[in-house]
Chain A
Amino acid sequence: MTPEALVAPAAFSATRRRVRDGARFCALVASQQGGLREDGSAECGVQLLAICSKDGTLAVEEHAVPASERRYPSLTPDIPAAAWYERRVRDLFGVEPLGHPRPDPLVLPLAPGAVAPLGPGGDPQEALSVHAGPLPPHVHGEGVFTIPYGPVRSGVFEAVEYVVETSGEDVPHLRTRIFYKHRGVDSHFAGMAFDDGVLLAEREEGPASVAHALAFSHAVERLTGIAVPFPSELVRVVHAELERVANHLDSMIRHTEAAGQAVAYAVLSHHKERVQRLRARLCGSRFGRGVVVPGGVSRGLALAPAEVLHEVAVLSHEIDEDASRLMDTPSFVDRLRGTGVLSPDDARRFAVVGPVGRASGQHEDVRTSRPYGAYERLGHRIAHRYDRGDALCRQRVRIDEIAGAFHLVRQAVDLLDGLDEPDDWRVGVPAGSGRALGWAESPQGELLSIVEADHGRLTQVTQRSAGFHNLAAYSAAFPKDVFTDIAFIEASFGLSIAGAAG
C-alpha cells in the first residue's frame, strides 16, 4: 500500500480519473477556510480546489485539509502538471503534498519553523524573509558544474534565476527559481469590492493586464449572474486582441535582439511602439488598463471606427510583411529551427497552454473551446496546426495569431460601427456571494480566475496565469540545447515572471 493511500484514499480521485481519461489538468489552488467542528468549536483549514478541462467544460473537485492534518496525497505522481501547483500551495498555505517527487520551495522559501503566510496561523501582513540556499546538483558527471544565472541579469528583464547545470556548453538541466519576485498579489484581494479587485487583477501581470481584467470580470459576472451589453463585449475584444499583438511582437523583438538582427529589431520595436500608442489612443493607457470592468467596459473606443480600421490595416500589413521577411532570413531562422524542442509528449504531460502548447500539438484555445463574450459571434481564422515544438514553431504560431488578432479587431470594430452607442457601457453589478470561475485566453495562454465573494466583498481570489502553468514545462525544452540557445528559448516561451511568481 502506498503512503498516499494510507492518508486519504478519496483525495482527488475524480480528478485523477478524469486526467487518466484524457482531461487537461488546469489548476490546483487553495484558500483558507474558517469552519466549525461538530462540537461547535472553531476549526480552520485549507480548502484545495483541483480544476480540469474536457470538451469545453471545467470540472472542479474540492478537498478539505483540516488545520490539524495539513497534508494530503500528492497529485503529481499521477499528474505531472500539478507539480508546481502543489509546491506553491505548500509554500503559501503550509499544506504538505505527500509523495510529491520534489517538494522544494517554489514561490516562498521560508526559514525553518516559519509559518506559511496564508495558511492556518499565518499572518499575511507580517513581513517574512526569504531563505534560499543553493540547490543540490541534479546532474552528476565529470566536469559538471552549476551556474546561477540571475536574478540580476544583463538587459532589461524581470527578476528570475535559472540554475544551469552544464559541463561547459550543453545544458543538460536547467531549473527555474521564481521566488525572487513573489509579490503575494492574490493575498490582497480579500476584503476588496469588485471594482477595486479588477484594478488589482490588472497588476498581476502587466503585459496581460486586459486578459487578467477579463478573466476576473468574467468570474464576477458569472457569480452575480449578469450579462454584459454586446457593444461592450466588442470593445473588450478590441483591447484584448491588441494586447495579444503587442505581446507577440515583444516575443519576436526579443528573438531578433538575441540573434543580433539590428534592423529587424528596430523595425519590429517600432511596430510595437505604434501598437502601444494605438492602445493608448483608444483608452488612455498603453496597457489597456481601466477599460475592462465587471459588468462591461468603462468607456467605448475613443477613436472613430474608420480611424481604428485604418490604423489596423496599416499595422497589420506592415507587420505581416516584416514577419514574412524575418522568416525568410536564414541567419535568423537557423537560430530557431530545432532549438528548445518541447515534444508533444511533454506538452501533453505538462498540459501546456497558449502559443507554447499550440506549437507542440496542444491546440486548445479557450477563445474557441470555451468561448466567452463576443468571440462566439466572430469568425476565427483556421489555425495552422504545428507539433514540432521548437522555437521556430512557436514563432510561427505567434505570427499566425497576430494576423488572427487583427482579423478579430476588424470584425469587432465593423460590428461596433453598425450598432447604436449603448446608454450604458456597463451594467450594475449586484452584491453576490459564492464562488465562480472566469477565464480568458491571454497572449500567453489560458488564464483562470477563481473568485469567492461574500455579499459583494471578495474573500478569496486566485488569478492563475498561463506563465505559472507553462513555466513548469520550461526545463523540459532544454536537454538538447547549448548555452547560447537560452535567450531564444526564453523569448519563444514568452512568459511573464510576474504572472508566474504571483
Chain B
Amino acid sequence: MPWIPRGLRHGIVTSPYPRRADGYGPGFFARVEVGPVAGDDPEAISAAVRACPTGAIALRGEADRKSAPVGWPARVKVDRGRCILCGRCVALAPGTFRADPGFETGAFSRSALIVPPKEADEADAELAKARAQLARRVRALRRSVHVRHVDAGSDGSEEWEVAALTNPVYDVQRLGVFFTASPKHADVLLVTGAGSAGMEKPLRHTYDVMPEPKVVIAVGTDAVSGGMLGESYATRGGVASFVPVDVYVPGSPPSPFGILHGILAAVGILGAGGGGGAGASRPARRSPK
C-alpha cells in the first residue's frame, strides 16, 4: 500500500491546541483593539471613522463619553461584529486603534463585541448571565459534540475554514467534535453567511429539528452582522434574525482556530475571548479514546 508511508512522512502535524498554545493561532490580525491611551488628533480619528467600509467605528456622544469605563478612550467605539479587518483605521489613527493578534475572538453576546462597553459592570453581569445559562444547557455535551454546518449566504470562505477543522492539523475529532450529516443528531449549529432571504426557511427548519440542548454559533462577520452586505432586498444583516445565536465569532473569515475556539467555548470546554469579560480558560479535557 503506497499511501501508508506517505501519510507518515510528515510525522505528527496536529496542533497541540487547546492543551497547549499553538504558535500559529495568535499570528493573525484578529480584532481591532481601542486605546488604552488615545494619542491621535481628532482629524485622524474622524478620517478612520469615514474610512471604515462597514461603519463599524462610531464617534461617541457626550453622554456616552462620561460613561466610558476608566482606561478606555472616550472618543470612539468599535463594533467588532461589523469589522472585516481591513486595517484602515489602524493605518490612519495608530494611536487609537491597534491591530490585535490572536484568535479567541468569540463572544457570548452581540454587545460584548462592541468596545469599549458602555458600562463595564453592566456588560460583565450580562455576559456572566448569558454564559451561565449556556453552561447549564450544554452540561451534558462536553465529551462529545456533534456539529451541523448550514450556509445562510456566505461568500464561501467560511466553508473553507470550517472544512479545514477536519484536516490533520486541526483534527477536531481528537477533541470529541464531529461533523454530522443530520441536524437531528446535532448539538451545535454552525451558521455562516449574511442571512440570505432564501435560507430563512431551511435554516429555521434545521434549527427546529435539532434536539435539545442545542447551541447556535454564528461564524464570520457576515453571520454576525451582515458585514459589507448588511441589510438589503436579499440579506437580513446576519443570521440572528433567523435563529437565536449563542456564540458570535467575528472575522472575515475567522481562522480555523477562531472557529474551533468558538465551538469549544460554546460547549463549556473553554472560556470565550470577545470584548472584555473573558473567563479564564479551564484546562481542556481530552475526549475518551
Cβ contact within 8 Å between B233 and A157: no
Judged by a CB distance under 8 angstroms, whether B183 is at the interface is yes
Minimum Cβ distance to chain A for residue B99 (Å): 9
Cβ contact within 8 Å between B231 and A127: yes
Across the interface, B3 reaches (CB within 8 A) one of A108, A204, A264, namely A264
Across the interface, A181 reaches (CB within 8 A) one of B163, B164, B199, namely B199
Judged by a CB distance under 8 angstroms, whether B29 is at the interface is yes
Across the interface, A183 reaches (CB within 8 A) one of B27, B164, B229, namely B229
Find residues 158-191 in chain B having any chain A CB closer than 8 Å to their own CB. 158-164, 166-169, 179, 181-183
Minimum Cβ distance to chain A for residue B73 (Å): 25
Judged by a CB distance under 8 angstroms, whether A78 is at the interface is no
Minimum Cβ distance to chain B for residue A16 (Å): 32
Cβ contact within 8 Å between B166 and A179: no
Judged by a CB distance under 8 angstroms, whether A250 is at the interface is yes
Cβ contact within 8 Å between B166 and A269: yes
Q: With the chains together, A182 CA to B3 CA distance in Å?
A: 41
Judged by a CB distance under 8 angstroms, whether B238 is at the interface is no
B203 closest partner in A (C-beta): A152
Judged by a CB distance under 8 angstroms, whether B194 is at the interface is yes
* Interface flags, B1-19, vs A, CB<8A=1, else 0: 0111011001001000000
Cβ contact within 8 Å between A205 and B169: no
Q: With the chains together, A155 CA to B24 CA distance in Å?
A: 26
Judged by a CB distance under 8 angstroms, whether A474 is at the interface is no
Cβ contact within 8 Å between B233 and A204: no
Q: With the chains together, A284 CA to B27 CA distance in Å?
A: 9
Cβ contact within 8 Å between B4 and A273: no
Find residues 183-212 in chain B having any chain A CB closer than 8 Å to their own CB. 183, 193-194, 196-200, 202-203, 205-206
Judged by a CB distance under 8 angstroms, whether A129 is at the interface is yes
Cβ contact within 8 Å between B159 and A158: yes
Cβ contact within 8 Å between B151 and A183: no
Judged by a CB distance under 8 angstroms, whether B228 is at the interface is yes
Q: With the chains together, A132 CA to B197 CA distance in Å?
A: 12
CB neighbours (8 Å) of B151 from chain A are: 151, 157-159, 181
Across the interface, B53 reaches (CB within 8 A) one of A127, A156, A199, A250, namely A199
Cβ contact within 8 Å between A182 and B196: yes
- A183 with B153: in contact, given A263-B6, A267-B7 (CB under 8 Å)? yes
Q: With the chains together, A270 CA to B7 CA distance in Å?
A: 10
CB neighbours (8 Å) of A126 from chain B are: 233
Cβ contact within 8 Å between A152 and B233: no
- A203 with B228: in contact, given A196-B53, A269-B166 (CB under 8 Å)? yes
Cβ contact within 8 Å between B156 and A498: yes
Judged by a CB distance under 8 angstroms, whether B253 is at the interface is yes
Using C-beta atoms within 8 Å of the partner chain, give the interface range for chain A. Answer: 35 or more
CB neighbours (8 Å) of A199 from chain B are: 53, 84, 86, 228
Minimum Cβ distance to chain A for residue B48 (Å): 14
Cβ contact within 8 Å between B162 and A156: yes
B169 closest partner in A (C-beta): A273
Cβ contact within 8 Å between B179 and A156: yes
CB neighbours (8 Å) of A157 from chain B are: 151, 159
* Chain B count of residues within 8 A CB distance of the other chain: 63
Cβ contact within 8 Å between A187 and B233: yes
Find residues 434-456 in chain A having any chain B CB closer than 8 Å to their own CB. none
B84 closest partner in A (C-beta): A199
A108 closest partner in B (C-beta): B234
Q: Which candidate, A117-125, A162-170, A410-418, A482-490, is the interface stretch facing chain B?
A: A117-125
Minimum Cβ distance to chain B for residue A147 (Å): 15
B1 closest partner in A (C-beta): A263
Cβ contact within 8 Å between B228 and A206: no
Judged by a CB distance under 8 angstroms, whether A20 is at the interface is no
Q: With the chains together, A284 CA to B253 CA distance in Å?
A: 12
Judged by a CB distance under 8 angstroms, whether B40 is at the interface is no
Cβ contact within 8 Å between A124 and B160: no
Cβ contact within 8 Å between B167 and A124: no
Cβ contact within 8 Å between B155 and A498: yes
Cβ contact within 8 Å between A499 and B202: no
B220 closest partner in A (C-beta): A206
Q: With the chains together, A453 CA to B242 CA distance in Å?
A: 36
* Interface flags, A311-350, vs B, CB<8A=1, else 0: 0000000000010010011000000000000000000000
Judged by a CB distance under 8 angstroms, whether B252 is at the interface is yes
Judged by a CB distance under 8 angstroms, whether A377 is at the interface is no
Cβ contact within 8 Å between B156 and A206: yes
Judged by a CB distance under 8 angstroms, whether A184 is at the interface is yes
Judged by a CB distance under 8 angstroms, whether B150 is at the interface is yes
- A284 with B29: in contact, given A250-B160, A263-B6 (CB under 8 Å)? yes
Q: With the chains together, A329 CA to B3 CA distance in Å?
A: 9
Cβ contact within 8 Å between B181 and A155: yes
Judged by a CB distance under 8 angstroms, whether B154 is at the interface is yes
- A128 with B228: in contact, given A159-B199, A322-B6 (CB under 8 Å)? no
CB neighbours (8 Å) of B164 from chain A are: 269, 272-273, 276
CB neighbours (8 Å) of B155 from chain A are: 183, 203-206, 498
* Interface flags, A187-218, vs B, CB<8A=1, else 0: 11000000010011001111101000000000
- A127 with B86: in contact, given A157-B159, A207-B157 (CB under 8 Å)? no
B183 closest partner in A (C-beta): A152
Minimum Cβ distance to chain B for residue A272 (Å): 7
- A284 with B28: in contact, given A130-B198, A273-B169, A290-B86 (CB under 8 Å)? yes
CB neighbours (8 Å) of A266 from chain B are: 7, 167-168
Q: With the chains together, A177 CA to B80 CA distance in Å?
A: 34
Cβ contact within 8 Å between A188 and B229: yes
Judged by a CB distance under 8 angstroms, whether A496 is at the interface is yes
CB neighbours (8 Å) of A125 from chain B are: 231-233
Cβ contact within 8 Å between A496 and B233: no
Minimum Cβ distance to chain A for residue B248 (Å): 19
Cβ contact within 8 Å between A152 and B150: yes
CB neighbours (8 Å) of B196 from chain A are: 159, 180-183
Minimum Cβ distance to chain B for residue A291 (Å): 12
B237 closest partner in A (C-beta): A127
B196 closest partner in A (C-beta): A181
Cβ contact within 8 Å between A499 and B156: yes
- Shortest Cβ-Cβ A-B pairs, 9 listed: A206-B157, A154-B181, A184-B234, A269-B167, A180-B198, A206-B155, A117-B233, A498-B156, A206-B156
24 example contacts (A-B, Cβ-Cβ < 8 A) are as follows A108-B234, A127-B197, A159-B153, A159-B196, A181-B151, A182-B198, A183-B155, A183-B235, A187-B234, A200-B228, A206-B157, A206-B158, A206-B253, A263-B6, A266-B7, A269-B168, A270-B10, A276-B164, A284-B28, A284-B29, A287-B253, A322-B6, A329-B3, A498-B154
- A159-B193, A180-B202 given. 15 additional CB < 8 A pairs? A124-B232, A127-B233, A130-B200, A159-B150, A184-B235, A187-B234, A188-B229, A205-B156, A206-B159, A269-B168, A287-B253, A289-B252, A325-B2, A498-B154, A498-B156
Contacts from B to A (Cβ < 8 Å)? 2-4, 6-7, 10, 13, 24, 27-29, 53, 84, 86-87, 149-164, 166-169, 179, 181-183, 193-194, 196-200, 202-203, 205-206, 222, 227-229, 231-236, 252-253, 255
